[in-house]
Structure 1
Amino acid sequence: MELNWTTFLLEILNFLVLLWLLKRFFYKPLQNAIARRQSAIQQQLDDARKMKKEAQRLQQSYENDLAALEQGREEAHAKLQRELNMEREKQEKHLTELLQQKRQKAHVIEQRQLRESHRQQEKQALEQGSRFAASLLQAGAGPELESRLLEFLLDALHKLPAEQRVSLQQSLAGQHGPVEVSSAFPLSAGQRQRIESGLNELSGHEVQSHFRQDEQLIAGLRIAIGPWVLGANLRDELEAFAHLEEAAPSE
């Protein structure tokens, strides 16, 4: 077969034209389409990465918020527990104080009742002793004992402190009636004169006296001068003895 160079050159030319046509109308648009496709895919990948990052950020933010919420809840629970503990301790302390006060009050009432019981027992004992002593003294009372009590009374008038003497003198000065002198036994004229002399000496002037007998005195005398009562008799002494416990200061 003989090679035809003209035909060969035309074939080469046709091939080159075909290549140019393919490149111009097929390959280049294809490359552009592939490039646009790659660009779109890359854009989608970038958007996906952004969305993934945003999703991760949102997830981290949610987890942080959840952790903060949990921490806040735990702190609130701990605070509430502390407040409850403090309130419980406060109520327990208040209850303890109330119980202590009630115990102290009950103890005070019990002690007061005991003292009152002891006081009543002592009072009864003193009254019984007073009645017993009165019975004994009544058996031994007489003019002789009354004479000794009269001497005791006159001596007491003579030895009165200055303050009491002044007060008695003022009472005697304001006395509108006679001084009341009571005795368990009848007084002799000499005894009456001695009493009047003692009163005159005390007041500094003559004092009128009224003498009367009072057997309830058992033995001894009682002189009433205004608000003052001067006594040296067994009845007053026994009554003072019987009421000795009442005069004692209460605790």
Structure 2
Amino acid sequence: MHIVWSSFFIQLVAFLILFWLLKKYAFGPLFSIMEKRKELVQEQIQTAESNRKQTEQLLAEQKQAIETARKEAYDILEQARQTSGRQADELIQNAKAEAGRLKEEALKDIENEKNKAVAALRSQVSAMSVLIASKIIEKQVDQKSQEQLIDQYLQEVGGKQ
């Protein structure tokens, strides 16, 4: 095999010129576009990772906020139960005290009315006794007439009540 050095150098020079032209006009812009694409993809990956971390952090904060709200709601309900229980006990005690007071007042009123009725009855009985006695003295009747007279006056007294 025999090498022709002149054609070898011409081919080498042609190859270098072609390589230089391709590098300047084809590979340079192509590599530049590929480098920009690589940077864009890396930036998007970093943005996605950052967004994922922020989302996880927000999710954790929301879970914490929900848990806090649940605890506060439970505390409010428990406090409301306790307050309503105390208020119910107070209402029952007040109602019992009021019922006792009203009972005492009613008993006093009944006793007063009873005393008034007894006093009025005594007054009427004594007035009737005097009236009967005066009628008996006026009439001087026998036993049977006297009983009839007493029955008549008792009926009059019974009719007035």
Give the TM-score category using the shorter length.
0.5 to 0.7
- What letter corresponds to residue 86 of structure 2 in structure 1? M
TM-score by length of 1: 0.39
User: In 2, distance between residues paired with 1:96 and 1:90?
Assistant: 10
| Distance in 1 (alpha carbons) for counterparts of 2:2 and 2:35 | 47
Alignment pair present for 1:50 and 2:50: yes
Q: Does 1:12 align with 2:5?
A: no
Alignment of 1:1-251 (within 5 A): 2-102=2-102, 104=104
CA distance in 1, matches of 2:8, 2:69: 86
**Matches of 2:4 and 2:57, distance apart in 1:** 74
Q: 1:17-56 CA distances to partner (integer Å, 9 max, x unpaired)? A: 2222222222222221111001111111122222223322
Any idea what SS the aligned residue of 2:3 has? coil
Q: CA RMSD in A?
A: 3.0
Question: Counterpart amino acid of 2:59?
Answer: Q
Query: CA shift at 1:107, angstroms?
Result: 6.6
Higher relative contact order (CA 8 A, sep 6+): 1
Q: Which has the higher strand share?
A: 1
Q: Look up the SS of the partner of 1:49 in the other structure.
A: helix
Deviation, 1:104, is 4.9
Deviation track 1:127-152 (CA, whole Å, cap 9, x = no partner) reads: xxxxxxxxxxxxxxxxxxxxxxxxxx
TM-score scaled by length of structure 2: 0.57
Rg larger for: 1
C-alpha distance in 2 between matches for 1:3 and 1:34: 40
Q: Which runs of 5+ in 1 are unaligned?
A: 121-251
Distance 1:33 1:74 in 2: 60
Give the gaps of 5 or more residues in structure 2.
120-161
Moved more, 100-109 or 8-17: 100-109
1:13, distance to aligned residue in structure 2 (A): 1.9
Q: Deviations over 1:179-236 (max 9, x none)?
A: xxxxxxxxxxxxxxxxxxxxxxxxxxxxxxxxxxxxxxxxxxxxxxxxxxxxxxxxxx
Amino acid of the residue matched to residue 68 of structure 2?
A
**Letter paired with 1:10:** I
Cα distance in 2, alignment partners of residues 52 and 34 from structure 1: 27
